[in-house]
Structure 1
Amino acid sequence: MEIELSELQREIETSVRKVCAEFNDEYWHECDEAARFPEEFYKAMADAGWLGVTMPEELGGAGLGVTEAAIMMHTVASCGGGQSAASSIHINLFGPHAIVVHGSPEQKQRWLTPLIKGQEKACFGVTEPDAGLDTTSIKTFAKKVPGGYRVSGRKMWTSTGQEAHKIVLLARTTPKSECKRPTDGMTLFYADLDRTKIEVRRIKKLGRNAVDSNATFIDDYFIPESDRIGEEGKGFHYLLDSLNPERILVGIEAIGIGRDALQRAAKYARDRVVFGRPIGKNQGIQHPLAEAWTYLESAYWMCMRAAYLYDHGLPCGAEANAAKFLSARAAFDAATKAVLTHGGMGYAREFQVERLFRESMLPRIAPVTEQMILSFIAERVLELPKSY
């Protein structure tokens, strides 16, 4: 069995790297410091056609798979922009997948075309403050009224909410207590993010400051029926179409951050001379960095394995979750070692590794915690009794 990238996949990597090369450390440092969305980078990726890499060809997309998207996002994250670069375009790859699979032809044309062209941005409204990862316990409710729905509720960690024109919104249309199964009775919408009627409040956070996260407050907001994705009550099941690709992409983006941090550490170790010799000549520096490489490499191929399974219509839940778990830990380990290799300068913003270190924490937490992943594998793979 051959394990290598195809010619097309290598071309994707080369082409994306060429776009990313236009944006240097100073650019990403400024975006992070000013908490400013990387609009120029977003536009460059849109102009090059990369926002539609997984979108249908008839709408202007490339119609490629999660494997190609993963290669693209690994390249984006590894070229200096880290989470700030990856998260600015990440939603385009997995967020609208429910529309691709379950949307009507009219909805696909109306919603996906402007996303592909970079004319509109979307955000994801699923997580809630009192539900967390227990999505079946969300309280946002959409009440059926003539012509549509009246929606009230609250969402948390709505990324790009300050920039987005649209929101992928999950709401209950039937109370949980009245449903046969807790996963029933939720409906998915793709609605206008009207800030005159929806409050989007920015959350101050540790890293990835160029891409905002928000608390979102919705009070009696009307959404027309034409903005509902698929059938009423099946939103949670539609959402599942996006979960495995999201885990794969988050994982491989983490690998990109870890590899960038590792390369910066190796360069510093070659250049930094102490006691008459480069510090990289010392095994106390060499071995931790070499070990980080091995973990990053193995996690990368786990991501690619999961992507392959998904693109071939094979079960990949365990692999996608394991890929995200391994990648997040490997990236955090590499970024930590990069800071330590730089010594005092690793704590300074000049060498960028402190920014990558801050961003490497995010994949360990989101979009699903390590503990939930381990519980999933214990239950679904090892056939152990459910623990929660």
Structure 2
Amino acid sequence: MTTNDQLTSEGITLDDVLQATQAVTSRFGDDYFYKLDKEEGFPHDYIKALMDASLHTVMIPEEYGGMGLGVREASVIVEEMHRSGGVGSMIHGQMFMMGILARHGSEQQKRKFLSEVVAGRMRLQSFSVTEPNAGTDTSKITTKAWKEGNEWVVKGQKVWTSRFDHADAFIVFARTSPPKDPAKPFQGLSCFIADKREVDPKQYTSRKIDAMFNHHTYEVFYDDMRIPEDSLIGEEGNGFKYLLDGLNAERVIIAAECIGDGRWFIEKAVKYANERVIFGRPIGANQGVQYPIARGYAHLEAANALRWKAAEMFDRHEHCGAEANMAKMLASEASWELANACMQTHGGFGLAREYHIERKFRENRVFQIAPISTNMVLNYIGQHVLGMPRSY
């Protein structure tokens, strides 16, 4: 690691990545995120500090100026961001989206976009997939793309497109043809990457969604948006395959964020349980306070073990759908268990914003729903792992 905390690509260890992340997160404490949450602000300076330390390049291959590392290292970064009181969503899209582009993009696309991201001149942070009438059923998306001359034209509506107004480039999924086989409804979906700075702003409209926490997510309307012919990632009609590959990395990264949240809740709960004295002794001496924290800790450690297994499998290019999904589910459940234990340990003070518990409580709840709901993970396990009939 160099003296200015910027990582180089040679001989980087997990501890190097952690130390570089801590050098940034130590400058942004709970009060910083409290202010952002209250004002619904966007953490431009926080993201700039992370990018100045090259942490956003973790999954970009070395030949394009990145670290050339994997989702293991990416997960260390976001875990520390959450453990220190922040959120990884402001940079995690740039990580797993890099994986999609690096694995499936053309050489021209990688040279253009990855090099710009590494140089800090581009934020590739927005992933436009979900639609209001399709939800989890990606096969039912109605956004369409078709060729006109040397351009693709994109028309449709998306929702929960995170950080769209703060991104320079984004990835969007659209249907380019109907499925040839009705039994394979995901055929005909294609994946595109767009430089928003090269798109006519009259051809799209974004509206911020007023959510329960400071997430900066948008509803987006594509009104015959025109993008260059070479915006297509990979082969036309095979976009769903690339999406799944990216989502496995996303599952692991989200699991790590939940692990970080869990450790934050444990630290806050244990500290308060040791310091708060009621009826002549610390409340942590009471089993009713102590046991929920201890049980949550045990569940978090079990989820963490599966997180590492899934990350290592992904980085070895092994099929890890089951492991990535289970790691995300178990980590989200363990961190939510600890969120409730932490809130209960603090009692009434857990509701006071100055203690920061209620903010983290709100932020953590989303992981039961997104980026995939717990029920959909159970559907996956039942059908694809255990061999039972499709249940939905």
Tell me, yes or no, if structure 1 residue 22 matches structure 2 residue 27. Answer: yes
1:202 to 204, 208, 227: 208
How far does the alpha carbon of each residue in 1:19-75 deviate from its partner, in whole angstroms, 9 at most, with x for none? 100001111111111111111110111011100001111111100111111122111
Q: 1:215 Cα shift? A: 0.5
Tell me, yes or no, if structure 1 residue 64 matches structure 2 residue 69. Answer: yes
Query: Are the equivalent residues in 2 in contact too, given 1:12–1:71 (CA < 8 A)?
Result: yes
**In structure 1, how many angstroms separate the alpha carbons of the residues matched to 2:274 and 2:117?**
43
Tell me, yes or no, if structure 1 residue 120 matches structure 2 residue 122. Answer: yes
Which letter maps to 2:135? G
Mapping of 1:16-95 within 5 angstroms?
16-81=21-86, 83=87, 86-95=88-97
Q: 1:11 Cα shift? A: 2.3
1:104 to 88, 106, 126: 106
How far does the alpha carbon of each residue in 1:312-338 deviate from its partner, in whole angstroms, 9 at most, with x for none? 222211111100110010011101111
1:163 to 147, 163, 166: 166
Query: Are the equivalent residues in 2 in contact too, given 1:51–1:118 (CA < 8 A)?
Result: no
Judging changes above 3 Å, is the alpha-carbon distance between structure 1 residues 180 and 292 closer, same or farther for their aligned structure 2 residues? closer
Aligned position for 1:3: none
Q: 1:276 Cα shift? A: 2.4
How far does the alpha carbon of each residue in 1:145-166 deviate from its partner, in whole angstroms, 9 at most, with x for none? 1011211100110000120111
**In structure 1, how many angstroms separate the alpha carbons of the residues matched to 2:322 and 2:279?**
49
Deviates more, 1:9-18 or 1:250-259: 9-18
How far does the alpha carbon of each residue in 1:70-98 deviate from its partner, in whole angstroms, 9 at most, with x for none? 122111111111x3xx0010011102322
**In structure 2, how many angstroms separate the alpha carbons of the residues matched to 1:223 and 1:13?**
38
Relative contact order: is structure 1 or structure 2 higher (C-alpha 8 Å, sep ≥ 6)? 1
Tell me, yes or no, if structure 1 residue 133 matches structure 2 residue 131. Answer: no
Q: 1:131 Cα shift? A: 0.7
**In structure 2, how many angstroms separate the alpha carbons of the residues matched to 1:341 and 1:150?**
54
Tell me, yes or no, if structure 1 residue 185 matches structure 2 residue 188. Answer: yes
Query: Are the equivalent residues in 2 in contact too, given 1:279–1:285 (CA < 8 A)?
Result: yes
Query: Are the equivalent residues in 1 in contact too, given 2:314–2:320 (CA < 8 A)?
Result: yes
The alignment yields a C-alpha RMSD, in angstroms, of 1.6
Tell me, yes or no, if structure 1 residue 10 matches structure 2 residue 10. Answer: no
**In structure 2, how many angstroms separate the alpha carbons of the residues matched to 1:108 and 1:281?**
57
2:220 to 216, 220, 228: 216
What is the DSSP-based 3-state SS (H/G/I as helix, E as strand, rest coil) of the residue aligned with 1:184? coil
Which letter maps to 1:192? D
Query: Are the equivalent residues in 1 in contact too, given 2:59–2:98 (CA < 8 A)?
Result: no
**In structure 1, how many angstroms separate the alpha carbons of the residues matched to 2:272 and 2:202?**
49
How far does the alpha carbon of each residue in 1:240-266 deviate from its partner, in whole angstroms, 9 at most, with x for none? 220111111111101111110111111
What is the DSSP-based 3-state SS (H/G/I as helix, E as strand, rest coil) of the residue aligned with 1:157? strand
**In structure 2, how many angstroms separate the alpha carbons of the residues matched to 1:330 and 1:117?**
37
What is the DSSP-based 3-state SS (H/G/I as helix, E as strand, rest coil) of the residue aligned with 2:380? helix
**In structure 1, how many angstroms separate the alpha carbons of the residues matched to 2:178 and 2:40?**
39
Deviates more, 1:280-289 or 1:125-134: 280-289
User: Kindly, what percent of the aligned residue pairs are identical?
Assistant: 40
Aligned position for 2:6: none
Deviates more, 1:35-44 or 1:116-125: 116-125
Q: 1:177 Cα shift? A: 7.2
How far does the alpha carbon of each residue in 1:135-185 deviate from its partner, in whole angstroms, 9 at most, with x for none? 111000012110112111001100001201112000111134787731111
Query: Are the equivalent residues in 2 in contact too, given 1:179–1:185 (CA < 8 A)?
Result: no
Query: Are the equivalent residues in 1 in contact too, given 2:60–2:102 (CA < 8 A)?
Result: yes
Which letter maps to 1:220? D
1:372 to 355, 376, 385: 376
Query: Are the equivalent residues in 1 in contact too, given 2:24–2:50 (CA < 8 A)?
Result: yes
**In structure 2, how many angstroms separate the alpha carbons of the residues matched to 1:248 and 1:312?**
14
Query: Are the equivalent residues in 2 in contact too, given 1:136–1:176 (CA < 8 A)?
Result: no
Aligned position for 1:386: 390
Aligned position for 2:292: 288
**In structure 2, how many angstroms separate the alpha carbons of the residues matched to 1:46 and 1:127?**
27
Which letter maps to 2:382? A
Query: Are the equivalent residues in 1 in contact too, given 2:178–2:187 (CA < 8 A)?
Result: no
**In structure 1, how many angstroms separate the alpha carbons of the residues matched to 2:116 and 2:343?**
40
**In structure 1, how many angstroms separate the alpha carbons of the residues matched to 2:178 and 2:219?**
23
**In structure 1, how many angstroms separate the alpha carbons of the residues matched to 2:223 and 2:317?**
40
Judging changes above 3 Å, is the alpha-carbon distance between structure 1 residues 99 and 7 closer, same or farther for their aligned structure 2 residues? closer
**In structure 2, how many angstroms separate the alpha carbons of the residues matched to 1:241 and 1:104?**
16
User: What TM-score do the two structures reach when normalised by structure 1?
Assistant: 0.94
Tell me, yes or no, if structure 1 residue 309 matches structure 2 residue 313. Answer: yes
Which letter maps to 2:28? F
Which letter maps to 1:44? A
**In structure 1, how many angstroms separate the alpha carbons of the residues matched to 2:12 and 2:235?**
40
- The number of equivalent residue pairs is 378
Q: 1:297 Cα shift? A: 1.0
Unaligned runs of 5+ in 1: 1-5
How far does the alpha carbon of each residue in 1:257-280 deviate from its partner, in whole angstroms, 9 at most, with x for none? 111011111111111122222211
How far does the alpha carbon of each residue in 1:332-379 deviate from its partner, in whole angstroms, 9 at most, with x for none? 110111111111010111111111111111111111111111111111
